[in-house]
Amino acid sequence: MKVCCAVTGFFVLCSLKSNGQLFVGVEGGPNMNYLTTSNASEPFTNYQGMKGWNIGIPVGYQFFDWLALEVAPTYITKNYDIVRTGFFTGVYQKNYNTYWQLPLNLRFSFGGKALRGFVDLGGYAAYWSSGRQKGTEANILNEVDTAYQTVNPTSILGENYGYSYDQKYTFNSTKDNRMEFGLIGGAGVSYQLFETYTFYLEGRYYRAMTDQQKQYELNQAPRYNDNFGVVLGCTVQVKKIVSLFKK
Amino acid sequence: MAKIIRLRIKWRLYILVFGALCSFPALAGCRKTITSTPNATSYPGDNYPDVFQSFWNGMNTNYVFWGIDTTNWDNMYTVYKPLFDQLTVFDSAHEAKAEQYFQQMTQGLIDSHYTLNFSTTGNSFSPAQYRKLLTDPNYFADSAFPAAVLDSLIPAKYLDKSSVVTGTDTVTLEGTSTPFTAVSGTINGQVLYLYFSNFALSQAGAHTSPVFNYFFTMLHRYYGSLKGIVIDLRGNGGGEIADLDYLVGQMVTSQYTFGYTRYKNGVNRLDYSPWAPAVVKPWVGGSVNVTAPIVVLGDHLSVSMSELTIMAVKTLSNGKFIGTRTWGANGPLTSSVYFDGGQFTIGGSAWGSSGYMFVYTSSSMFKYLNGDIYEGVGVPPDIYARETTAAYLSGDDLVLDAAMRYLGL
């Protein structure tokens, strides 16, 4: 039903403005991802944000000079870090996760003819395609010889040698929810050049509304991605490109 | 004209503001509530419903075998929460009920270290022991080992008289004073034999130190000419992990992997760390490269570190495990402060200084080198041999006999 409404809405908007413009481009930039969850029962443990990046191909339709609909198939990383502190310093796990993401948003723009401001609002669907884990953990069956050498350890890695790993994450079909849906909010400025190219710089927030895990237990602590990014992009009007080829 | 333009700009601004207003509540809401589940030990827990909640959550967070344990823990919540809610008063009748419920909830758990210790009554419950006795009421009674075999059979019949060194000390394991017995000697001057009752070699005192000194001196001096080494871990209840390198690490000159461990690294049941290799390292105080067969003897009462040592030995190309399937508690266990997961206490000070209940459980899951997890099922022997009362009465140790046959004696 929602899809039908969206499609109907799209064609209604198209019919409102016969001189609308189809545009296509490329965009990308760095991001900072945070995992929002509960770890109150894990002492000396912090979940920290990690840098990542994303690249996408925006395709859109400019209904009016102030309104466009945009979809941008995107390859995006949503990383986070689990860091132990205090006696456990040195134990950490960096989680590198990549997603294929399909955002769909409305772009409301305002301002002059060339230099304009805009606000993006929409939603996205994403598929968690792969993961990698890099870290160090204390290895219980690789002890530092404290019993016979009377060493007085000052950290967990003084009790047990650390095991360092950098490996592909193996998905667990019971646990991992590989589909993610969320909302998009963004704001930025654009500059139109030669009435053909539009360059833009945007601050964008992807807020996951679905848990990174399937619901597999009662009272489960959910995990959500919060991704803040800066996007630099350029779009070109398809009509202009076509006319260039015709010439 | 200017008025029309102004109106259009205004209209667009209204849409923008409306859109933003509509979307921000959506951005803020819709997610599931992230409740701040406290550590199991942090619940006030001064009544039965609280104690139940604390225990149930503590198990979610700390129990390391959810990945392979088939117990339906959600169902336990559904069934037992209403029952605990009915326990409104603390008295002996309600306490008996509560303990019964806790036992019913946990009786299927595969962790064979797992023990519930009720502080207020001093009662305890081991699901593994419960299941073993259910299937075999004589599980503990029909083994003649260790006391009788050790006292009167092995030193008298098998060990060379002049070589026998024995001793008993008292050591502390898990905060409890425990008798610690060790025996060493040679068999036919060709095989070096060692028995000890627990892995507490670093605590060896005046009576047991000579036993280990003898064994390791003989090992380092004659390893090249020995026909075999027998390490007898029958009836050995386990103990300190450090003894793995101290014992097995003195018989190898290079580090090797014999399995893998992993821990909990999150609050949900399936939050696990990657598998880390379980290794034996040459002991820092010195080691020799033993090429002669190393036979480890184990039985149904070989537990925990005994089982890990058995697997460490059987991984060696010259290692062999002779005996019966072990107890099945091989998830390494250490103080709860070191790892996410493992043992925990529930119930606040209202129940006394030790809380209401101490849950003794593994800190990590162990997987043998071949990928098998023997938790709850025990390590299978390479060569099956079992001592019987009848054999003992006729002066035979059938397991040691099997080892001698394997060594060609």
Task: Say if CB A145 and CB A183 are below 8 A apart.
Answer: no
Residue A27 DSSP SS3: strand
Domain layout of chain B by residue ranges = 37-142+331-361, 147-252+287-326+374-406
Closest among A129, A128, A108 to A208, alpha carbons compared: A128
Residue of A nearest to B339 (CA): A138
Cα(B56)–Cα(B63) distance, integer angstroms: 10
Please indicate if any CB of chain A lies within 8 Å of the CB of B266.
yes
Q: What is the pLDDT of residue B409?
A: 87
CA distance A37 to chain B (A): 6
Given B9, B34, B338, which is nearest A38 (Cβ)?
A: B34
| A147–B265 CB contact, under 8 Å | no
pLDDT in tens, A107-157: 999 999 899 999 999 999 999 999 999 999 999 999 987 667 666 788 999
The larger pLDDT score, comparing residue B21 to residue A90, is at A90
Q: What is the pLDDT of residue A3?
A: 45
The confidence band for A4, taking pLDDT boundaries of 50, 70 and 90, is very low
| A185–B268 CB contact, under 8 Å | no
Residue of B nearest to A160 (CA): B338
- In B320-339, the residues whose Cβ lies within 8 Å of chain A are 332, 334, 337-339
Given A137, A175, A207, which is nearest B276 (Cβ)?
A: A137
Q: What is the reported pTM? A: 0.90
The confidence band for A1, taking pLDDT boundaries of 50, 70 and 90, is very low
Which chain B residues contact residue A172 at CB under 8 A?
A: 270
Please indicate if any CB of chain A lies within 8 Å of the CB of B27.
yes
Which chain B residues contact residue A184 at CB under 8 A?
A: none
Given A37, A41, A205, which is nearest B39 (Cβ)?
A: A41
Given A82, A142, A219, which is nearest B265 (Cβ)?
A: A82
Which chain A residues contact residue B340 at CB under 8 A?
A: 42, 45
Provide the CA B47 distance to its chain's centre, in angstroms: 30
Number of CB pairs, chain A paired with chain B, less than 8 A apart: 158
Show the domains of chain A with their CATH numbers. Answer: 22-133+172-246 (2.40.160.20)
Q: What is the pLDDT of residue A5?
A: 45
Q: What is the pLDDT of residue B147?
A: 67
Burial A149-166 (b: 16+ CB within 10 A, else e): eeeeeebbbbbbbbbebe
Residue of B nearest to A224 (CA): B31
Strand residues in B175-240 grouped as ranges (E): 176-187, 191-196, 228-232
The confidence band for A241, taking pLDDT boundaries of 50, 70 and 90, is confident
Cα(A170)–Cα(A174) distance, integer angstroms: 12
φ, ψ at B81 (rounded to 5°): -60, -50
Q: What is the pLDDT of residue B358?
A: 93
| A142–B241 CB contact, under 8 Å | no
CA distance B332 to chain A (A): 7
Q: How many residues does chain B have?
A: 409
Cα(A141)–Cα(B261) distance, integer angstroms: 8
| A38–B332 CB contact, under 8 Å | no
Q: What is the pLDDT of residue A150?
A: 66
Residue of A nearest to B20 (CA): A121
Cα(A74)–Cα(A56) distance, integer angstroms: 4
CA distance A244 to chain B (A): 33
Give yes or no for residue A22 having a pLDDT over 80: yes
Rounded to the nearest 5 degrees, what angle is found at the Cα of B209, between the Cα atoms of B235 and B317? 55
Question: What CATH code would you report for B147-252+287-326+374-406?
Answer: 3.90.226.10
Q: What is the pLDDT of residue B138?
A: 86
Q: What is the pLDDT of residue A18?
A: 43
Q: What is the pLDDT of residue B262?
A: 96
Burial (CB < 10 A; 0-12, 13-18, 19+), residue B89, is exposed
| B270–A175 CB contact, under 8 Å | yes
Q: What is the pLDDT of residue B264?
A: 93
Q: What is the pLDDT of residue B68?
A: 97
| B34–A213 CB contact, under 8 Å | no
Please indicate if any CB of chain A lies within 8 Å of the CB of B377.
no
Which chain A residues contact residue B270 at CB under 8 A?
A: 172, 174-175, 216
- Render B102-126 in DSSP notation, one character per residue: HHHHHTT---TT-EEEETTT--EE-
Give yes or no for residue A65 having a pLDDT over 60: yes
CA distance A135 to chain B (A): 9
| A41–B42 CB contact, under 8 Å | yes
Q: Per the structure block, which two tokens stand in for B401?
A: 């006999």
Residue of B nearest to A225 (CA): B31
Q: What is the pLDDT of residue A8?
A: 39
Task: Say if CB B22 and CB B317 are below 8 A apart.
Answer: no
| B338–A138 CB contact, under 8 Å | yes
CA distance A232 to chain B (A): 23
Which chain A residues contact residue B26 at CB under 8 A?
A: 183
CA distance B91 to chain A (A): 30
From first to last of its 409 residues, chain B has per-residue pLDDT tens of 555 555 555 565 555 555 554 555 555 557 877 776 666 666 667 899 999 999 999 999 999 999 999 999 999 999 999 999 999 998 999 999 999 999 999 999 999 999 999 998 999 999 999 999 999 988 887 665 666 677 778 988 999 999 999 999 999 988 889 999 999 999 999 999 999 999 999 999 999 999 999 999 999 999 999 999 999 999 999 999 999 999 999 999 999 999 999 999 999 999 999 999 999 999 999 999 999 999 999 999 999 999 999 999 999 999 999 999 999 999 999 887 888 889 999 987 788 878 899 999 999 999 999 999 999 999 999 999 998 888 888 889 999 999 999 999 8
Which chain B residues contact residue A111 at CB under 8 A?
A: none
> Span A45-71, mean pLDDT?
96
Give yes or no for residue A10 having a pLDDT over 90: no
Helices (H), B223-347: 243-247, 305-315
